[in-house]
Every structure is written in structure tokens, then in C-alpha cells.
Amino acid sequence: MRTTDRVVVVIPARDEGELVATAIRAVRVAALAVQPRVRTTIVVVANACTDDTAQIARDCGATVLEVDIADVGAARAAGFAWALTQGLGPMPGLWFATTDADSRVPAGWLAAQLAAWRGGGDVYLGTVALAAGERASFAAWADGYDAAAAQGDAGHGHVHGASLGVRAQTYLRVGGFRSMEADEDVDLVIRLTAIGARVVWDESSPVTTSSRLVARAPRGVAVDLALSLDADDLPA
């Protein structure tokens, strides 16, 4: 059976002072579920921030990289690149995970990823969901999301940087995240599957994502939510 003793979780953040603390605390709770056998390092990549994102992340116990780079793909890549300079790998027992600063992972998120790893998976792809009280406001999006997942032949078919994990050695084989303003997660998964990496599609641990309509990236859930609303429903 495969075993891992170290997980690195990277959270890219741009002006996320209002939400980043909640994101970090959720990851810390998920880390408790795999301790003490597995050590978890949380890296927040504060990218071109003009607010107090970096200080808040430090106060929450995360390692913080303050950078001014092109985009979210480069930010995720910078976090994992930093981890590899700290003597954490590459090694057979190193697992990389990533989520977003406007998201809250569930308590079983890392346990689900490591279960996928122990079962022979190289890549973990989870789902996202809105908070229970917000689903009704975005029913068209939520219903469409669920319907798309149900139609998948090999799995739910969704790829989100908010809920993604990968074996470190496999990540390095394809060169990691590329510098991309959007769809850096999809691009990575395409390259991983091209080399035969085994993907585990999991719907058991959905990550709660923000319902905001103003996106930090050109594409993503915020854009999809806005497009799902009728013009009369959009805020003035």
C-alpha cells in the first residue's frame, strides 16, 4: 500500500483579506484528520495584494509567499516550487493539494485525497458547492452542475483548482502548473492524463465556494454564477 507522510496545500490569494482566514482555518481542520501520521504545510501565495491578506494569513499560521506575478497558474506553481526548496521532496511520500482563498474545504478533504493516493490514484479531483443557504439563489447553476456530474462516464467531470490534489512526483513529470490567467487546473489535468496518471473523481467532500459574482480570474465559478442569473436578478 502507498503511504505519504507530508502534504503541501497551496492557496493562491489576491486581495482576499476578508476570506483567507476562513480558508486557512478550514484546511487546518482537515489537516487534523490526518495527523499525526501526516504533516501538513499550508502555503498562501499572496499575489500582488494591496490589502492585508499576507498578514492575516501569517496570523493564521500559514507560510506566506508575497509575490507579484502574472496570474493564478503562476501563483499555484510558485507555492509548490517553494515547497520543493524546503527539503520536502520530491519523494514518493509527498502529496500536493490546492484550494482557493474564497473557499472552505470540509474536514474530510485531505483524508479523502490520501485515501485516493493509497488506493493507487495519482490525481484527485473533487467538486465544489455553494453554502446551503445560497443554493436556492443560484438554482440554475446548481442544477446544471449536478446534471453535468451525473452524465460523466468516468467520474463527475468537473475540474477545480479549489479541490485538486496530485502526487508530487507526477506533478513534476508534467512540469506543474503553467502561467495562465484561467483554466490552469484544466490544463494541468489534461497533461497529467496524457501521461497515464490515474485520476480519482470524488464527490464525497465538496468544497464550499464563494457565491460572489465578481471574479478574481477571467473564468471560474463566479463567472458561471453570474451567467446563470437572469438579467433582472443581477445586482445593480
pLDDT tens-digit profile of 72-112?
A: 999 999 999 999 998 876 678 899 999 999 999 999 999 99
- The pLDDT, as a whole number, for residue 225 is 52
Q: What order do you get walking across the sheet with 103-104 strand by strand?
A: 103-104, 207-209, 128-129
Contacts for 168 with CB less than 8 Å, ≥ 6 apart: 8, 80, 84, 89, 90, 91, 94, 95, 96
C-alpha dihedral, 58 to 62 to 68 to 74, nearest 10°: -170
- The pLDDT, as a whole number, for residue 142 is 77
- 48-68: pLDDT as tens digits: 999 999 999 999 999 999 999
- 121-147: pLDDT as tens digits: 999 999 998 888 777 777 777 777 877
Domains of the chain: 6-231 (3.90.550.10)
- The pLDDT, as a whole number, for residue 232 is 34
Which DSSP string do the residues of the chain spell out, in sequence order? -----EEEEEEEESS-TTTHHHHHHHHHHHHHTTTTTSEEEEEEEEES-SSSHHHHHHHTT-EEEEE--S-HHHHHHHHHHHHHTTT--SSTTEEEEE--TTEE--TTHHHHHHHHHHTT-SEEE--EE--GGGGGGGHHHHHHHHHHHHT-SSS-----TTSEEEEHHHHHHTTS----SS-HHHHHHHHHHHTTPPEEE--SSPEEE---SS-SSSSSHHHHHHHHS-GGGS--
- The pLDDT, as a whole number, for residue 135 is 75
CA distance 73 to 24: 20
